Structure 1
Amino acid sequence: MERDERELRGAWTRYQRHAFHSPSPALSPWVERYWEARWDYAEPYRQKIVPYPNVHLSFGGGRADVNGVCGGYQIKVLEGRGHVFGVAFRPGCFRPFLGASVSTITDRVVPATEVFGPDLPMAPDAPAMDAFLLARLPDDDDRVRQAAAAVELIAEDKALTRVERLAAELGLSTRGLQRLFAEHVGVGPKWVIRRYRLHEVTARMAAGGAIDWAALAADLGYADQGHFIRDFKGMFGEQPTWYAQRYQAAGSGPGPVSPSTRPDAPR
Protein backbone atom coordinates (compact mmCIF):
# COMPACT_ATOMS: atom_id res chain seq x y z
CA MET A 1 0.00 0.00 0.00
CA GLU A 2 1.40 3.37 -1.03
CA ARG A 3 1.84 5.93 1.75
CA ASP A 4 0.88 9.59 1.56
CA GLU A 5 4.30 11.28 1.71
CA ARG A 6 2.77 14.10 3.76
CA GLU A 7 2.42 11.79 6.77
CA LEU A 8 6.03 10.54 6.83
CA ARG A 9 8.66 11.85 9.28
CA GLY A 10 6.60 14.81 10.39
CA ALA A 11 6.17 16.11 6.83
CA TRP A 12 2.62 17.12 7.75
CA THR A 13 4.12 19.98 9.83
CA ARG A 14 4.71 21.84 6.56
CA TYR A 15 0.94 22.02 6.18
CA GLN A 16 -0.21 22.31 9.80
CA ARG A 17 0.62 24.54 12.75
CA HIS A 18 -0.32 23.68 16.33
CA ALA A 19 -0.18 25.95 19.36
CA PHE A 20 -0.89 25.27 23.02
CA HIS A 21 -1.88 27.73 25.76
CA SER A 22 -2.18 27.36 29.51
CA PRO A 23 -5.52 28.14 31.18
CA SER A 24 -5.90 30.46 34.13
CA PRO A 25 -4.36 28.87 37.27
CA ALA A 26 -7.84 28.82 38.82
CA LEU A 27 -8.99 26.56 35.95
CA SER A 28 -6.00 24.20 36.02
CA PRO A 29 -7.74 21.59 38.24
CA TRP A 30 -10.28 21.08 35.42
CA VAL A 31 -8.63 22.26 32.19
CA GLU A 32 -5.38 20.71 30.96
CA ARG A 33 -4.69 23.10 28.09
CA TYR A 34 -6.07 25.17 25.25
CA TRP A 35 -4.95 24.18 21.78
CA GLU A 36 -5.15 25.51 18.24
CA ALA A 37 -4.65 23.80 14.89
CA ARG A 38 -4.32 25.54 11.53
CA TRP A 39 -3.91 23.81 8.19
CA ASP A 40 -3.52 24.60 4.51
CA TYR A 41 -3.89 21.69 2.07
CA ALA A 42 -4.31 22.05 -1.68
CA GLU A 43 -5.24 18.35 -1.81
CA PRO A 44 -7.30 16.57 0.88
CA TYR A 45 -5.25 14.98 3.67
CA ARG A 46 -6.41 12.14 5.89
CA GLN A 47 -5.43 13.20 9.42
CA LYS A 48 -5.30 10.32 11.87
CA ILE A 49 -6.28 11.31 15.41
CA VAL A 50 -5.43 8.86 18.19
CA PRO A 51 -7.37 9.53 21.39
CA TYR A 52 -6.31 10.21 24.94
CA PRO A 53 -8.88 10.15 27.78
CA ASN A 54 -9.63 13.87 27.49
CA VAL A 55 -13.00 15.41 26.70
CA HIS A 56 -12.55 18.30 24.27
CA LEU A 57 -14.59 21.42 23.60
CA SER A 58 -13.80 22.48 20.03
CA PHE A 59 -14.64 25.49 17.88
CA GLY A 60 -14.26 25.47 14.12
CA GLY A 61 -16.15 25.67 10.86
CA GLY A 62 -18.83 27.83 12.43
CA ARG A 63 -19.77 25.28 15.09
CA ALA A 64 -18.86 24.34 18.66
CA ASP A 65 -18.88 20.74 19.86
CA VAL A 66 -18.17 18.70 22.95
CA ASN A 67 -16.14 15.67 21.87
CA GLY A 68 -16.39 12.71 24.21
CA VAL A 69 -13.52 10.29 24.63
CA CYS A 70 -13.20 7.99 21.62
CA GLY A 71 -12.47 4.32 22.02
CA GLY A 72 -10.20 4.23 18.96
CA TYR A 73 -8.58 6.32 16.30
CA GLN A 74 -10.48 8.66 13.99
CA ILE A 75 -9.79 9.97 10.50
CA LYS A 76 -10.51 13.62 9.79
CA VAL A 77 -10.13 14.84 6.21
CA LEU A 78 -8.44 18.24 6.07
CA GLU A 79 -8.57 20.33 2.91
CA GLY A 80 -8.17 23.98 2.03
CA ARG A 81 -7.45 26.34 4.90
CA GLY A 82 -8.94 25.80 8.33
CA HIS A 83 -8.59 26.63 12.00
CA VAL A 84 -9.84 24.95 15.17
CA PHE A 85 -9.58 26.22 18.74
CA GLY A 86 -10.04 23.68 21.51
CA VAL A 87 -10.23 23.13 25.23
CA ALA A 88 -8.79 19.87 26.56
CA PHE A 89 -10.34 19.07 29.94
CA ARG A 90 -8.28 17.05 32.38
CA PRO A 91 -9.19 13.35 32.29
CA GLY A 92 -11.76 12.68 34.99
CA CYS A 93 -12.71 16.35 35.40
CA PHE A 94 -15.51 17.03 32.91
CA ARG A 95 -18.44 15.54 34.80
CA PRO A 96 -19.21 18.72 36.82
CA PHE A 97 -19.65 20.64 33.54
CA LEU A 98 -21.67 17.88 31.88
CA GLY A 99 -23.91 17.17 34.87
CA ALA A 100 -24.09 13.49 33.93
CA SER A 101 -21.88 10.45 33.65
CA VAL A 102 -19.08 11.12 31.17
CA SER A 103 -19.73 7.66 29.68
CA THR A 104 -22.96 9.08 28.20
CA ILE A 105 -20.90 11.03 25.64
CA THR A 106 -18.20 8.41 24.95
CA ASP A 107 -17.72 8.03 21.18
CA ARG A 108 -20.14 10.93 20.67
CA VAL A 109 -20.00 14.53 19.51
CA VAL A 110 -22.56 16.78 21.20
CA PRO A 111 -23.44 20.38 20.26
CA ALA A 112 -21.63 22.46 22.86
CA THR A 113 -24.62 24.67 23.57
CA GLU A 114 -26.44 21.60 24.93
CA VAL A 115 -23.80 21.44 27.67
CA PHE A 116 -22.76 25.06 28.17
CA GLY A 117 -25.86 26.99 27.09
CA PRO A 118 -26.45 29.67 24.45
CA ASP A 119 -23.95 32.16 25.92
CA LEU A 120 -20.99 30.07 24.76
CA PRO A 121 -18.60 32.27 22.70
CA MET A 122 -18.43 30.92 19.15
CA ALA A 123 -15.00 32.25 18.11
CA PRO A 124 -13.02 32.26 21.35
CA ASP A 125 -9.38 32.64 22.26
CA ALA A 126 -7.68 31.68 25.54
CA PRO A 127 -8.67 34.86 27.46
CA ALA A 128 -12.30 34.55 26.32
CA MET A 129 -12.46 30.90 27.38
CA ASP A 130 -10.83 31.74 30.70
CA ALA A 131 -13.54 34.31 31.37
CA PHE A 132 -16.35 31.98 30.27
CA LEU A 133 -15.20 28.96 32.28
CA LEU A 134 -14.16 30.94 35.37
CA ALA A 135 -17.75 32.16 35.61
CA ARG A 136 -18.81 28.50 35.72
CA LEU A 137 -16.25 26.99 38.09
CA PRO A 138 -17.56 23.76 39.61
CA ASP A 139 -17.48 23.05 43.32
CA ASP A 140 -14.66 20.89 44.62
CA ASP A 141 -15.50 17.19 44.35
CA ASP A 142 -13.59 14.35 46.02
CA ARG A 143 -14.59 11.86 43.32
CA VAL A 144 -13.35 14.17 40.56
CA ARG A 145 -10.01 14.52 42.32
CA GLN A 146 -9.82 10.76 42.81
CA ALA A 147 -10.52 10.06 39.13
CA ALA A 148 -7.99 12.66 38.00
CA ALA A 149 -5.37 11.25 40.36
CA ALA A 150 -5.99 7.74 39.02
CA VAL A 151 -5.33 8.81 35.43
CA GLU A 152 -2.24 10.77 36.49
CA LEU A 153 -0.90 7.69 38.24
CA ILE A 154 -1.38 5.61 35.09
CA ALA A 155 0.38 8.24 32.98
CA GLU A 156 3.34 8.59 35.34
CA ASP A 157 3.94 4.98 36.42
CA LYS A 158 5.18 3.12 33.35
CA ALA A 159 5.23 -0.15 35.26
CA LEU A 160 1.50 0.02 35.96
CA THR A 161 -0.09 -2.47 33.56
CA ARG A 162 -2.91 -4.11 35.54
CA VAL A 163 -6.28 -2.80 36.70
CA GLU A 164 -6.01 -4.78 39.95
CA ARG A 165 -2.83 -2.99 40.93
CA LEU A 166 -4.35 0.42 40.21
CA ALA A 167 -7.39 -0.43 42.33
CA ALA A 168 -5.12 -1.48 45.20
CA GLU A 169 -3.09 1.73 44.91
CA LEU A 170 -6.30 3.77 45.23
CA GLY A 171 -7.85 1.63 47.96
CA LEU A 172 -10.79 0.60 45.77
CA SER A 173 -12.27 -2.67 44.62
CA THR A 174 -11.91 -3.46 40.94
CA ARG A 175 -15.63 -2.89 40.45
CA GLY A 176 -15.47 0.39 42.36
CA LEU A 177 -12.62 1.55 40.13
CA GLN A 178 -14.60 0.66 37.01
CA ARG A 179 -17.60 2.65 38.27
CA LEU A 180 -15.35 5.65 39.03
CA PHE A 181 -13.92 5.61 35.50
CA ALA A 182 -17.31 5.15 33.81
CA GLU A 183 -18.76 8.08 35.72
CA HIS A 184 -15.85 10.50 35.50
CA VAL A 185 -13.47 9.43 32.72
CA GLY A 186 -15.86 7.91 30.19
CA VAL A 187 -13.77 4.83 29.41
CA GLY A 188 -12.60 1.95 31.59
CA PRO A 189 -9.33 1.80 33.52
CA LYS A 190 -8.06 -1.02 31.29
CA TRP A 191 -8.47 1.21 28.21
CA VAL A 192 -6.63 4.10 29.89
CA ILE A 193 -3.77 1.85 31.02
CA ARG A 194 -3.46 0.40 27.53
CA ARG A 195 -3.49 3.87 25.93
CA TYR A 196 -0.68 5.25 28.09
CA ARG A 197 1.44 2.10 27.78
CA LEU A 198 1.06 2.19 23.98
CA HIS A 199 2.22 5.79 24.15
CA GLU A 200 5.53 4.31 25.28
CA VAL A 201 5.71 2.55 21.91
CA THR A 202 5.36 5.75 19.89
CA ALA A 203 7.87 7.47 22.19
CA ARG A 204 10.41 4.79 21.28
CA MET A 205 9.56 5.17 17.61
CA ALA A 206 10.20 8.91 17.91
CA ALA A 207 13.52 8.35 19.71
CA GLY A 208 14.88 6.37 16.76
CA GLY A 209 16.90 3.17 16.60
CA ALA A 210 15.94 -0.48 16.27
CA ILE A 211 13.07 -1.81 18.38
CA ASP A 212 12.91 -5.35 19.74
CA TRP A 213 9.14 -5.76 19.43
CA ALA A 214 8.93 -8.94 21.51
CA ALA A 215 10.92 -7.40 24.35
CA LEU A 216 8.89 -4.22 24.17
CA ALA A 217 5.63 -6.18 24.36
CA ALA A 218 6.92 -7.93 27.49
CA ASP A 219 7.99 -4.62 29.04
CA LEU A 220 4.45 -3.31 28.55
CA GLY A 221 2.92 -6.27 30.37
CA TYR A 222 1.72 -8.28 27.35
CA ALA A 223 1.78 -12.06 27.55
CA ASP A 224 2.96 -12.28 23.93
CA GLN A 225 3.72 -10.14 20.92
CA GLY A 226 0.46 -11.09 19.19
CA HIS A 227 -1.68 -9.49 21.90
CA PHE A 228 0.47 -6.37 21.79
CA ILE A 229 0.09 -6.05 18.00
CA ARG A 230 -3.68 -6.56 18.26
CA ASP A 231 -4.03 -3.80 20.86
CA PHE A 232 -1.77 -1.43 18.94
CA LYS A 233 -3.69 -1.94 15.71
CA GLY A 234 -6.99 -1.49 17.52
CA MET A 235 -5.86 1.84 18.94
CA PHE A 236 -3.83 3.21 16.01
CA GLY A 237 -5.39 1.43 13.04
CA GLU A 238 -2.04 0.16 11.77
CA GLN A 239 0.55 -2.49 12.55
CA PRO A 240 3.40 -1.10 14.70
CA THR A 241 6.01 -1.50 11.96
CA TRP A 242 3.73 0.29 9.48
CA TYR A 243 2.92 3.09 11.91
CA ALA A 244 6.65 3.55 12.62
CA GLN A 245 7.08 4.84 9.06
CA ARG A 246 5.41 8.06 10.23
CA TYR A 247 8.62 8.73 12.15
CA GLN A 248 11.11 7.96 9.41
CA ALA A 249 11.98 9.04 5.91
CA ALA A 250 11.30 6.53 3.16
CA GLY A 251 14.15 4.04 2.96
CA SER A 252 15.80 5.09 6.22
CA GLY A 253 15.65 4.12 9.87
CA PRO A 254 13.62 6.02 12.43
CA GLY A 255 14.87 9.47 13.26
CA PRO A 256 14.15 11.82 16.15
CA VAL A 257 10.90 13.74 16.12
CA SER A 258 10.01 16.57 18.47
CA PRO A 259 7.36 15.55 21.05
CA SER A 260 5.16 18.43 19.85
CA THR A 261 5.11 17.04 16.30
CA ARG A 262 4.58 13.33 16.97
CA PRO A 263 1.69 11.87 14.96
CA ASP A 264 -0.03 10.90 18.23
CA ALA A 265 0.80 14.10 20.15
CA PRO A 266 -2.19 15.16 22.27
CA ARG A 267 -4.49 17.53 20.41
Structure 2
Amino acid sequence: MLVKEILPNIALQAYIKSYLIVRFDTAIPKEFATKPYPTRIEQSLNFFARGYINNQNPATGESVRVASTAIFGQQVCRLNFETIFQPDFLMLMVNFKAGAMHRLLRIPNQELTTKFCDAEPLFSSEMRMVNDLIANAKDEVEIVGIADEFFLKKVRALKNDANQIDKIGELLLTNPTHFSLNWLADQACLSPRQFERRFAERMGVSPKFYSRINRFYQTFLYKETNPGTDWLTVALNFGYTDYYHLAKDFKQFANTTPKIMLEQYARRPEVVFKFFEPPRSASAYRTAVIDS
Protein backbone atom coordinates (compact mmCIF):
# COMPACT_ATOMS: atom_id res chain seq x y z
CA MET A 1 0.00 0.00 0.00
CA LEU A 2 1.34 3.41 -0.76
CA VAL A 3 0.49 7.06 -1.42
CA LYS A 4 3.40 9.08 -2.85
CA GLU A 5 3.63 12.61 -4.19
CA ILE A 6 6.47 13.07 -6.70
CA LEU A 7 7.71 16.10 -8.62
CA PRO A 8 7.78 15.78 -12.43
CA ASN A 9 10.73 16.22 -14.76
CA ILE A 10 12.15 19.73 -14.36
CA ALA A 11 11.09 20.59 -17.92
CA LEU A 12 7.46 20.01 -16.89
CA GLN A 13 7.42 21.93 -13.64
CA ALA A 14 5.97 25.07 -15.24
CA TYR A 15 2.90 22.97 -16.06
CA ILE A 16 2.66 20.17 -13.49
CA LYS A 17 2.72 20.72 -9.74
CA SER A 18 3.15 17.05 -8.82
CA TYR A 19 2.26 13.46 -9.54
CA LEU A 20 0.33 11.55 -6.90
CA ILE A 21 0.58 7.75 -7.03
CA VAL A 22 -1.93 5.74 -5.01
CA ARG A 23 -1.57 1.97 -4.88
CA PHE A 24 -3.44 -0.62 -2.80
CA ASP A 25 -2.88 -4.34 -3.04
CA THR A 26 -4.83 -5.22 0.11
CA ALA A 27 -8.50 -4.65 0.76
CA ILE A 28 -9.29 -1.66 2.99
CA PRO A 29 -12.27 -1.98 5.36
CA LYS A 30 -15.31 -0.42 3.71
CA GLU A 31 -15.77 2.14 6.50
CA PHE A 32 -12.45 3.73 5.50
CA ALA A 33 -12.85 3.44 1.72
CA THR A 34 -14.64 6.79 1.23
CA LYS A 35 -12.46 9.88 1.24
CA PRO A 36 -14.08 13.26 1.99
CA TYR A 37 -12.77 15.80 -0.48
CA PRO A 38 -13.36 19.39 0.68
CA THR A 39 -13.22 22.08 -1.99
CA ARG A 40 -9.69 23.08 -2.97
CA ILE A 41 -7.89 24.72 -5.88
CA GLU A 42 -7.03 21.76 -8.05
CA GLN A 43 -7.30 20.73 -11.67
CA SER A 44 -5.99 17.31 -12.60
CA LEU A 45 -5.75 14.45 -15.05
CA ASN A 46 -6.30 11.05 -13.46
CA PHE A 47 -5.30 7.60 -14.68
CA PHE A 48 -7.21 4.81 -12.94
CA ALA A 49 -4.95 2.06 -14.21
CA ARG A 50 -6.38 -0.65 -11.96
CA GLY A 51 -9.68 -0.33 -10.15
CA TYR A 52 -11.91 2.73 -10.24
CA ILE A 53 -13.66 5.28 -8.02
CA ASN A 54 -17.21 6.48 -7.58
CA ASN A 55 -17.76 10.20 -7.19
CA GLN A 56 -20.42 10.90 -4.56
CA ASN A 57 -22.03 14.31 -4.19
CA PRO A 58 -23.02 14.56 -0.48
CA ALA A 59 -25.42 17.42 -1.21
CA THR A 60 -27.47 15.43 -3.75
CA GLY A 61 -26.62 11.83 -2.86
CA GLU A 62 -25.74 11.14 -6.51
CA SER A 63 -22.98 8.59 -7.13
CA VAL A 64 -21.28 8.25 -10.53
CA ARG A 65 -18.45 6.00 -11.68
CA VAL A 66 -15.49 8.06 -12.94
CA ALA A 67 -13.94 7.22 -16.34
CA SER A 68 -10.67 5.26 -16.38
CA THR A 69 -8.86 8.38 -17.61
CA ALA A 70 -10.59 11.48 -16.31
CA ILE A 71 -10.15 15.24 -16.26
CA PHE A 72 -11.16 16.79 -12.94
CA GLY A 73 -12.20 20.39 -13.47
CA GLN A 74 -12.10 23.03 -10.75
CA GLN A 75 -14.11 21.84 -7.78
CA VAL A 76 -16.60 24.26 -6.18
CA CYS A 77 -18.27 21.97 -3.63
CA ARG A 78 -17.37 19.04 -1.43
CA LEU A 79 -17.22 15.56 -2.95
CA ASN A 80 -16.72 12.07 -1.56
CA PHE A 81 -14.56 9.60 -3.48
CA GLU A 82 -15.35 5.95 -2.88
CA THR A 83 -12.40 3.83 -3.96
CA ILE A 84 -13.06 0.33 -5.24
CA PHE A 85 -10.09 -1.74 -4.06
CA GLN A 86 -10.81 -5.23 -5.37
CA PRO A 87 -8.79 -6.98 -6.69
CA ASP A 88 -6.22 -4.17 -6.52
CA PHE A 89 -6.02 -0.43 -7.16
CA LEU A 90 -3.52 1.87 -8.91
CA MET A 91 -4.04 5.54 -9.68
CA LEU A 92 -1.81 8.29 -11.03
CA MET A 93 -3.11 11.82 -10.43
CA VAL A 94 -1.43 14.62 -12.39
CA ASN A 95 -1.95 17.92 -10.54
CA PHE A 96 -1.60 20.90 -12.86
CA LYS A 97 -0.29 24.35 -12.02
CA ALA A 98 -2.54 27.40 -12.42
CA GLY A 99 -3.69 27.79 -16.02
CA ALA A 100 -1.76 24.76 -17.31
CA MET A 101 -4.81 22.65 -18.12
CA HIS A 102 -6.17 25.48 -20.25
CA ARG A 103 -2.83 25.73 -22.07
CA LEU A 104 -2.84 21.98 -22.80
CA LEU A 105 -6.51 21.58 -23.76
CA ARG A 106 -7.27 24.95 -25.35
CA ILE A 107 -10.87 25.04 -24.15
CA PRO A 108 -12.51 27.47 -21.70
CA ASN A 109 -12.10 25.92 -18.26
CA GLN A 110 -15.61 26.96 -17.20
CA GLU A 111 -16.77 24.04 -19.35
CA LEU A 112 -14.94 21.66 -16.99
CA THR A 113 -15.82 23.26 -13.65
CA THR A 114 -17.30 20.73 -11.18
CA LYS A 115 -17.13 18.02 -13.88
CA PHE A 116 -15.26 14.72 -14.17
CA CYS A 117 -14.86 14.25 -17.90
CA ASP A 118 -13.57 11.32 -19.91
CA ALA A 119 -10.06 12.49 -20.85
CA GLU A 120 -9.72 10.53 -24.08
CA PRO A 121 -11.87 12.84 -26.28
CA LEU A 122 -10.22 15.92 -24.73
CA PHE A 123 -6.56 14.88 -24.90
CA SER A 124 -6.09 12.11 -27.48
CA SER A 125 -6.60 8.44 -28.20
CA GLU A 126 -3.17 7.91 -26.62
CA MET A 127 -4.79 8.10 -23.19
CA ARG A 128 -5.88 4.47 -23.27
CA MET A 129 -2.38 3.32 -24.22
CA VAL A 130 -0.77 5.43 -21.49
CA ASN A 131 -3.20 4.04 -18.93
CA ASP A 132 -2.34 0.48 -20.02
CA LEU A 133 1.39 1.23 -19.72
CA ILE A 134 0.87 2.54 -16.18
CA ALA A 135 -1.19 -0.53 -15.28
CA ASN A 136 1.67 -2.81 -16.35
CA ALA A 137 4.56 -0.71 -14.99
CA LYS A 138 6.85 -2.66 -12.68
CA ASP A 139 7.29 0.14 -10.12
CA GLU A 140 6.73 3.83 -9.34
CA VAL A 141 9.91 4.88 -11.17
CA GLU A 142 8.52 3.46 -14.41
CA ILE A 143 5.13 5.12 -13.81
CA VAL A 144 6.79 8.53 -13.44
CA GLY A 145 8.84 7.92 -16.59
CA ILE A 146 5.69 7.06 -18.59
CA ALA A 147 3.94 10.22 -17.41
CA ASP A 148 7.00 12.41 -18.06
CA GLU A 149 7.37 11.08 -21.62
CA PHE A 150 3.69 11.67 -22.41
CA PHE A 151 3.61 15.23 -21.10
CA LEU A 152 6.99 16.24 -22.51
CA LYS A 153 5.65 15.41 -25.97
CA LYS A 154 2.51 17.48 -25.28
CA VAL A 155 4.43 20.46 -23.93
CA ARG A 156 6.92 20.49 -26.84
CA ALA A 157 3.99 20.86 -29.23
CA LEU A 158 2.77 24.01 -27.47
CA LYS A 159 3.67 27.57 -28.33
CA ASN A 160 5.38 29.57 -25.60
CA ASP A 161 2.17 31.02 -24.18
CA ALA A 162 3.04 31.75 -20.56
CA ASN A 163 0.43 34.20 -19.37
CA GLN A 164 0.38 36.87 -16.68
CA ILE A 165 -3.01 35.59 -15.52
CA ASP A 166 -1.45 32.21 -14.72
CA LYS A 167 1.12 34.00 -12.55
CA ILE A 168 -1.70 35.80 -10.74
CA GLY A 169 -3.38 32.41 -10.20
CA GLU A 170 -0.18 31.17 -8.54
CA LEU A 171 -0.04 34.36 -6.45
CA LEU A 172 -3.56 33.78 -5.17
CA LEU A 173 -2.63 30.17 -4.38
CA THR A 174 0.25 31.18 -2.13
CA ASN A 175 -1.39 34.31 -0.72
CA PRO A 176 -5.20 34.17 -0.79
CA THR A 177 -5.63 37.37 1.22
CA HIS A 178 -7.73 40.14 -0.25
CA PHE A 179 -6.52 41.88 -3.41
CA SER A 180 -8.69 44.38 -5.18
CA LEU A 181 -9.95 43.39 -8.62
CA ASN A 182 -8.56 46.63 -10.04
CA TRP A 183 -5.07 45.83 -8.70
CA LEU A 184 -5.13 42.31 -10.12
CA ALA A 185 -6.36 43.58 -13.49
CA ASP A 186 -3.55 46.16 -13.55
CA GLN A 187 -0.97 43.39 -13.03
CA ALA A 188 -2.35 41.69 -16.16
CA CYS A 189 -2.60 44.99 -18.10
CA LEU A 190 -6.31 44.42 -18.63
CA SER A 191 -9.53 46.15 -17.67
CA PRO A 192 -11.28 44.58 -14.64
CA ARG A 193 -13.99 43.14 -16.88
CA GLN A 194 -11.48 41.63 -19.34
CA PHE A 195 -9.42 40.24 -16.47
CA GLU A 196 -12.39 38.51 -14.82
CA ARG A 197 -13.43 36.92 -18.12
CA ARG A 198 -9.96 35.68 -19.03
CA PHE A 199 -9.21 34.49 -15.51
CA ALA A 200 -12.37 32.37 -15.52
CA GLU A 201 -11.44 30.96 -18.93
CA ARG A 202 -8.10 29.75 -17.58
CA MET A 203 -9.00 28.80 -14.00
CA GLY A 204 -12.66 27.84 -14.28
CA VAL A 205 -13.97 30.33 -11.70
CA SER A 206 -13.78 34.06 -11.00
CA PRO A 207 -10.70 35.48 -9.21
CA LYS A 208 -12.76 36.31 -6.10
CA PHE A 209 -14.21 32.80 -5.86
CA TYR A 210 -10.80 31.25 -6.60
CA SER A 211 -9.29 33.20 -3.70
CA ARG A 212 -12.18 32.28 -1.38
CA ILE A 213 -11.76 28.57 -2.09
CA ASN A 214 -8.04 28.73 -1.46
CA ARG A 215 -8.39 30.71 1.76
CA PHE A 216 -10.92 28.17 3.05
CA TYR A 217 -8.68 25.21 2.23
CA GLN A 218 -5.53 26.78 3.69
CA THR A 219 -7.49 27.57 6.86
CA PHE A 220 -8.70 23.98 7.01
CA LEU A 221 -5.20 22.53 6.54
CA TYR A 222 -3.75 24.88 9.16
CA LYS A 223 -6.29 23.77 11.75
CA GLU A 224 -5.69 20.11 10.86
CA THR A 225 -1.95 20.47 11.55
CA ASN A 226 -2.42 22.83 14.54
CA PRO A 227 -5.30 21.22 16.47
CA GLY A 228 -4.45 23.12 19.66
CA THR A 229 -5.24 26.51 18.10
CA ASP A 230 -8.86 27.54 18.73
CA TRP A 231 -11.14 28.13 15.75
CA LEU A 232 -11.61 31.85 16.40
CA THR A 233 -7.86 32.48 16.34
CA VAL A 234 -7.52 30.43 13.16
CA ALA A 235 -10.39 32.32 11.52
CA LEU A 236 -8.94 35.75 12.36
CA ASN A 237 -5.44 34.72 11.25
CA PHE A 238 -6.79 33.90 7.80
CA GLY A 239 -8.80 37.08 7.36
CA TYR A 240 -12.28 35.93 8.44
CA THR A 241 -14.24 38.45 10.49
CA ASP A 242 -15.24 35.83 13.09
CA TYR A 243 -15.89 32.11 13.57
CA TYR A 244 -19.36 32.32 12.00
CA HIS A 245 -17.87 33.81 8.83
CA LEU A 246 -15.55 30.78 8.63
CA ALA A 247 -18.39 28.35 9.44
CA LYS A 248 -20.36 29.77 6.51
CA ASP A 249 -17.51 28.84 4.14
CA PHE A 250 -17.38 25.35 5.69
CA LYS A 251 -21.08 24.95 4.99
CA GLN A 252 -20.54 25.87 1.34
CA PHE A 253 -17.22 24.13 0.68
CA ALA A 254 -17.36 21.13 3.04
CA ASN A 255 -21.12 20.64 3.42
CA THR A 256 -20.77 20.37 7.20
CA THR A 257 -19.37 22.08 10.30
CA PRO A 258 -15.61 22.62 10.86
CA LYS A 259 -15.48 20.10 13.72
CA ILE A 260 -17.26 17.33 11.78
CA MET A 261 -15.17 17.94 8.64
CA LEU A 262 -11.94 17.47 10.61
CA GLU A 263 -13.25 14.25 12.15
CA GLN A 264 -14.24 12.89 8.73
CA TYR A 265 -10.96 13.94 7.11
CA ALA A 266 -8.97 12.12 9.81
CA ARG A 267 -10.52 8.84 8.63
CA ARG A 268 -8.91 8.96 5.17
CA PRO A 269 -7.24 5.62 4.34
CA GLU A 270 -3.76 7.13 4.04
CA VAL A 271 -4.10 8.64 7.52
CA VAL A 272 -5.71 5.67 9.27
CA PHE A 273 -3.20 3.19 7.83
CA LYS A 274 -0.23 5.62 7.84
CA PHE A 275 1.14 5.01 4.37
CA PHE A 276 1.52 8.55 3.03
CA GLU A 277 5.04 9.62 2.07
CA PRO A 278 6.01 13.32 1.84
CA PRO A 279 6.78 14.84 -1.59
CA ARG A 280 10.21 14.34 -3.09
CA SER A 281 11.87 15.42 -6.29
CA ALA A 282 11.79 13.13 -9.29
CA SER A 283 15.60 12.87 -9.36
CA ALA A 284 15.82 11.97 -5.68
CA TYR A 285 12.95 9.60 -6.12
CA ARG A 286 14.57 7.76 -8.99
CA THR A 287 17.66 6.99 -6.90
CA ALA A 288 15.69 5.93 -3.84
CA VAL A 289 14.87 2.42 -2.82
CA ILE A 290 11.30 1.65 -3.84
CA ASP A 291 9.08 0.52 -1.00
CA SER A 292 6.69 -2.31 -1.69
Q: TM-score, normalised by structure 2?
A: 0.71
Following TM superposition, by how much is the alpha carbon of 1:85 offset from its aligned partner in structure 2, in angstroms? 1.0
- RMSD after superposition: 2.8
When residues 205 and 110 of structure 1 are mapped into structure 2, their CA distance, relative to the original with a 3 A threshold, is: closer
Whole-angstrom distance in 1 between the partners of 2:215 and 2:253: 11
- Provide the residue aligned with 2:16 in structure 1: 31
Following TM superposition, by how much is the alpha carbon of 1:236 offset from its aligned partner in structure 2, in angstroms? 1.8
**Which structure 1 segments of 5+ residues have no match?**
1-15, 250-257, 262-267
- 1:58 to 2:65 alignment: no
Whole-angstrom distance in 1 between the partners of 2:186 and 2:73: 28
Following TM superposition, by how much is the alpha carbon of 1:46 offset from its aligned partner in structure 2, in angstroms? 1.9
Q: Is the 8 A contact 1:147 1:185 kept in 2?
A: no
- Provide the residue aligned with 2:93 in structure 1: 86
Whole-angstrom distance in 1 between the partners of 2:180 and 2:100: 23
Aligned partner (choices 226, 248, 252) of residue 207 of structure 1: 226
- 1:238 to 2:226 alignment: no
Q: Is the 8 A contact 1:57 1:87 kept in 2?
A: yes
1:52 is matched by which residue type in structure 2? R
When residues 110 and 159 of structure 1 are mapped into structure 2, their CA distance, relative to the original with a 3 A threshold, is: closer
1:67 is matched by which residue type in structure 2? F
Following TM superposition, by how much is the alpha carbon of 1:65 offset from its aligned partner in structure 2, in angstroms? 1.1
- Provide the residue aligned with 1:12 in structure 2: none
Q: Is the 8 A contact 2:36 2:264 kept in 1?
A: no
Whole-angstrom distance in 1 between the partners of 2:3 and 2:121: 28
- Provide the residue aligned with 1:122 in structure 2: 131
Whole-angstrom distance in 2 between the partners of 1:64 and 1:133: 15
Q: State percent identity of aligned pairs.
A: 21
Whole-angstrom distance in 2 between the partners of 1:260 and 1:162: 35
Q: Deviations over 1:10-62 (max 9, x none)?
A: xxxxxx63111221211111111111113431325221123433321111137
Q: Is the 8 A contact 2:41 2:214 kept in 1?
A: no
Q: TM-score, normalised by structure 1?
A: 0.77
Q: Is the 8 A contact 1:42 1:79 kept in 2?
A: no
Following TM superposition, by how much is the alpha carbon of 1:155 offset from its aligned partner in structure 2, in angstroms? 2.3
Whole-angstrom distance in 2 between the partners of 1:232 and 1:135: 40
1:160 is matched by which residue type in structure 2? H
- Provide the residue aligned with 1:77 in structure 2: 82
Q: Deviations over 1:162-205 (max 9, x none)?
A: 54554455454432332122111112212221122121342133
